[in-house]
Amino acid sequence: METDVDPIAPVSHLAIVMDGNGRWARQRNLPRQEGHAAGVETVRRAVRFIADAGIDCLTLFSFSTENWQRPSGEVKFLMRLLKHYIEADLAELHKNDVRVKIIGRRQGLDAQLVKLIEHAEQVTAANTRMRLQIAFNYGAREEIAEAAARLAVRVAKGELDAANITPDLVDAELSTHGLPDPDLVIRTSGENRLSNFLLWQCAYSEFYFTDVLWPDFDAVNLNAALQAYQRRERRFGQVEPALSKTD
């Protein structure tokens, strides 16, 4: 995936909601599975470009906890796709110094898939060029609730005073602990919502929505999103310096 984006991009953590695979397939009178397969090819190209752009961390929303409600055949296909992606791409990711992590619940996943996930994480654990997080069987509300439950256990044991629970303590219990919050969140396919994705971590993220369907998302679209981000002013709740003098 070629692009003319400055390799020193001002984005440390990029998150993407990859949406539109089914619509892409429907527009071409193809089964939905063909759309998901095309989406994996886009993942391959995007990971290469984003690593080349100098971005430290990429989080991709692949399968949500709500996606279990889809037809069983489609769910099984998505499970096989993740398995195939890891098997086919792990060697290249490791060679390119990419650290892989799968965030989300592992309960309910096939035991062979869980072993493959653990293997990918172990093999790439020391890699430092880029962090690739794939949110699979992931839901942000569930993540926050589970973090709260772990803190509640500590309170019940007398290890922690409830009055001393801070955002930092909650953050330490999340699956993304140790990583910066996303600077930029991209969502494809024209939908303008987070859909239960990184709700805590995206408190001050910038958002970029595009009508382009994920399988059609290419270097030009990625370039446009990064350039749009570069034009934004991030104040994290503060006012502009000029305004602060008059307020």
Q: Is 19 a catalytic residue?
A: yes
d(Cα 49, Cα 164) in Å, to the nearest integer?
Answer: 43
Tokens of 117: 């996930």
CA torsion sign, 107 to 108 to 111 to 112?
negative
Tokens of 148: 């709260």
CB atoms within 10 A of CB 75: 14
Give the H/E segment covering residue 100. strand 98-103
CB atoms within 10 A of CB 64: 20
Chain centre to alpha carbon of residue 135: 6
For the beta sheet containing 98-103, the strands, ordered from the edge strand earlier in sequence to the opposite edge, are 98-103, 130-138, 57-64, 13-17, 184-187, 206-209
d(Cα 53, Cα 49) in Å, to the nearest integer?
Answer: 6
Cα–Cα distances in angstroms (integers) from residue 104 to residues 165, 183, 220, in the given order: 23, 21, 30
Q: Is 192 a catalytic residue?
A: no
**One of 19, 56, 89, 183 is an active-site residue; which one?**
19
**One of 52, 67, 171, 181 is an active-site residue; which one?**
67
d(Cα 215, Cα 176) in Å, to the nearest integer?
Answer: 26
Catalytic site residues?
A: 19, 67
